[in-house]
Amino acid sequence: MDELLAQFLVEARELIAAAGEDLAQLDRAPGDAARLDRAFRAIHTLKGSVAIFDMAPAGAALHAAEDLLGAARGGRRPLDGTAIAAILDCVDQLDRWVDCMARDGRLPPQAAADAERLVALIGGSKAAAVAYPSSDWAARLLAQVGGAPASARVALRYRPDPDCFFRGDDPLAVLAAVPGLISLTAAPVEPWPPLAELQPFLCNLRFEGLSDAPADAVRAALRFVADQVEIEELGGAPAAAPVDAGAVPEASRSFRVDVALLAALANDVGELIVVGNALAHVAAEADTLDRALAARLAAVRTTLDASVARLRASVGAARMTPIGPSLRRLPRLVREAASALGRDLELTMSGEGTEIDKGIADALFEPLLHLLRNAVDHGIEPAAVRLAAGKPARGSLRLAARRAGDSVVVEVADDGAGIDPAALRRAAVARGLLDAEAAARLDDQAAVELIFAPGFSTASAVSEISGRGVGMDAVRAAIERLGGRVEIASSVGQGTVIRLRLPLTAVTTRVLTVQVGDDRYAVAVESIVETASVASERIVNVGTGQAVVLRNRTLPYLSLAELLGKRGGAAAADTRLLVARAGGEPVAFGVDGFGAQLDVMLRPPAGLLAAAPGIAGTSLLGDGSVLVALDIDELVG
Amino acid sequence: MSVMFADGAIRLVGDCPVEDAETLLQLLVEHRAPLDLSDCGHIHAALLQILLAARPPVQGTPVDCFVREQVLPLLKHGEPAR
């Protein structure tokens, strides 16, 4: 994908989420000037960004929304609920358009009609769209430079944030990238103080200039400082509304990193651990030849291990991210579900700043969407039913994230109908999951938890919204795959709370998969010294056991198949060896093949496996299969 | 060092990053000396700001094209105040 577009998609989604949040808050507290300012700036920046792409309908709709917010900001027209709803509609539509841009690289054919509807809804008009007076600064600028060169097409005014130097911005570098710059002026915002009192790192500059490049190109060059810039097309309708010179975006000391890069880093750390293990092995070998050299090697290895441990911790920390961005599309989808089902509800979100491993954060969207849609569909009752039950007509849906010790808890709570254990018992019997007697023995909590049983659906009619495909069992499987747990508490008539308890960091173990007969096992990379392949005849009987000579060193040899009580593969000319540390000593294990290295979330063995020796844990793989990880020490002991 | 005081002039040499701002300010406070831009590449806006506030007489032509064509006129404009 075009880098510019990729950047736009990320930024637009953030701005859309921020605007949505501010507008929802404004609906509750219409007088909140700071919210209003922020919503205006978000819409303004979005308008500037969409102008770079072939998204004219989006630009028109945003322009109308910006007009309305601008009028409210200037005190010319108060924002009422209808106006906010219309702007929110516009933001939701933009979110869908952004999805289209991500998928197809262009807007759908009906976008123009949608935009027209939105513009009409917002109460804007085409006439209003060009109603901005030509700003006086541009006129002054033209006068100042002694009349614009005929070629000038764009006037720009750039007021960098006072703090921009601290963020690493260089406004002159930004301006140097503006195409077709034919004139530039610079002036202090506040009069210059005596030189000795000048604050060298606070930016007190304002730039104005003329360019003979097309407005879109100028805008594209200035897109990262769009909130600090005013651009006016000369000899045509002005394009951009002036923004407050004092608009200060939140300072940031971070930048974006591709998740794939983080994954690559984590992989390399895994490789480093293996190298460290091999070094230990070499140091031990060297000990028989040269003690001093061995001691130095051991010291090097200790240092390496410490560095690798720190590196691993840093990579883990770099993967921590606020959970918010993973949740930002949910409000719109909940609004859509509510409107499709005719439910009146309010979604409140909290704890968006809670940090969690990026991999976990990314995997949460689908399960949460399912839980929220379920709550809209089966939890929140229609308004009439709610009123009859003495509840407020408008349902309440809460999505809250918080840190709880070593876990992050994400709750989806509704004040809807709750889950009736009796109904679940009946449904379970009707679906043949339980016989009537077993169902009657379940206490209420256990009956409610039947909702997680595979293939269980409680709605009498499968609805458009939540009844398709995935059920609550899929939600539970997804959360468990992340190393988390799902808990449910429900009370009839009061509502339901579903609590996802997730590990703070993905406590993954890097494993090598090995083939033994028809089965695949995993061995922790940390315990592996090396892998090798030797001619089978080099495995010799020594006393009661077997041994193999590998690089002049005799290692005990054990067939993994035999250890696991399996019939090994047919004797082959070559035997693959997994050399791993067991009880501190390297041991060569015969295996049938090597598979991929994986990062897995190991869970302690449960049930029958718990009793079996030599099992470190199990991990559910993405394809739903279970991988058994071996505990080499225990297996040999 | 991209900012230095030599031969009675304050010289900007090569690309001058934001880190040079304090040094430049210090030199301008201490010396009433002209500014030599003969070997000057890009200058950070923080340095431009200091030069606009200090308004030293300017000599030499910067190497960097943007600085030469757009920034140098800003420094020469209205100079010298004294």
Question: For chain B, which residues make up each domain, given as ranges?
Answer: 3-76
**What's the ipTM?**
0.93
Residues of B with CB under 8 A from a CB of A: 18, 21-22, 24-25, 28-29, 42-46, 48-50, 52-54, 66, 70-71, 73-74
> What pLDDT score does A467 carry?
42
Q: Out of B22, B54, B71, name the one closest to residue A172 (CB).
A: B71
Query: What separation in angstroms does the CA of A74 have from each of A67, A309, A481?
Result: 10, 56, 52
Whether A196 and B29 lie within 8 Å, measured CB to CB: yes
The Cα–Cα gap between A46 and A157 comes to: 19
> What pLDDT score does A247 carry?
39
Cβ neighbours of A201 in B, within 8 Å: 18, 21, 46
> What pLDDT score does A622 carry?
60
Closest A-chain CA to B15: A173
Cα distance from B7 to chain A (closest Cα, Å)?
Answer: 23
- Residues of chain A with pLDDT > 70: what percent? 88
> What pLDDT score does A236 carry?
41
Of A481, A351, A323, the residue nearest A413 (C-alpha): A351
> What pLDDT score does A372 carry?
93
CATH H-level superfamily of A322-419+458-503: Histidine kinase-like ATPase, C-terminal domain (3.30.565.10)
Q: How wide is the angle at C-alpha A403 spanned by C-alphas A397 and A408, nearest 5°?
A: 75
Mean pLDDT value across residues A219-241: 72
Name the token pair of A409: 């808890």
Cα distance from A205 to chain B (closest Cα, Å)?
Answer: 7
Any residues with CB less than 8 A from the CB of A579 and at least 6 apart, and which?
A281, A528, A529, A530, A531, A532, A550, A555, A586, A587, A588, A589
Mean pLDDT value across residues A37-60: 88
Closest A-chain CA to B43: A172
The Cα–Cα gap between A173 and B42 comes to: 8
**Residue A250 half-sphere exposure toward CB, CA atoms < 13 A:** 7
The Cα–Cα gap between A111 and A121 comes to: 15
Q: Which residue has the higher pLDDT, A609 or B73?
A: B73
Would you say A528 and A579 are in contact if contact means Cβ atoms under 8 Å apart? yes
Whether A246 has a pLDDT exceeding 60, the answer reads no
Whether A589 has a pLDDT exceeding 90, the answer reads yes
> What pLDDT score does A127 carry?
33
Tokens 């506040």 sit at which residue? A190
User: Where in A173-283 does DSSP place strands (E)?
Assistant: 181-188, 205-211, 229-233
Q: Which residue has the higher pLDDT, A386 or A565?
A: A386
> What pLDDT score does A417 carry?
92
Would you say A571 and A585 are in contact if contact means Cβ atoms under 8 Å apart? no
The region of weakest confidence among A6-10, B11-15, B55-59 is A6-10
* CATH number corresponding to A3-129: 1.20.120.160
| Residues A486-497: tens digit of each pLDDT | 999 999 999 999
Cβ neighbours of B42 in A, within 8 Å: 172-173, 176
Helix, strand or coil, per DSSP, at residue A515 = strand
Cβ neighbours of B21 in A, within 8 Å: 165, 200-201
In A494-540, alpha helices (H): none
Beta strands A154-158 and A229-233, pairing class? antiparallel
Query: What is the overall mean pLDDT for chain A?
Result: 82
Mean pLDDT value across residues A359-375: 88
Would you say A330 and A399 are in contact if contact means Cβ atoms under 8 Å apart? yes
- Residues of chain B with pLDDT > 70: what percent? 91
Cα distance from A144 to chain B (closest Cα, Å)?
Answer: 13
The Cα–Cα gap between A391 and A416 comes to: 9
Of A337, A356, A359, the residue nearest A401 (C-alpha): A356
Euclidean distance between the first and the last CA atom of chain A, given in angstroms as a whole number: 54
Whether B23 has a pLDDT exceeding 60, the answer reads yes
> What pLDDT score does A371 carry?
92
| Residues A408-464: tens digit of each pLDDT | 999 999 999 999 999 888 888 888 888 888 888 889 998 888 888 876 764 443 444
What topology is assigned to A508-636 in CATH?
Answer: OB fold (Dihydrolipoamide Acetyltransferase, E2P) (2.40.50)
In A133-247, alpha helices (H): 136-144, 171-176, 215-221
The region of weakest confidence among A120-129, A497-506, A551-560 is A120-129
Mean pLDDT value across residues A462-487: 70
What topology is assigned to A136-233 in CATH?
Answer: Alpha-Beta Plaits (3.30.70)
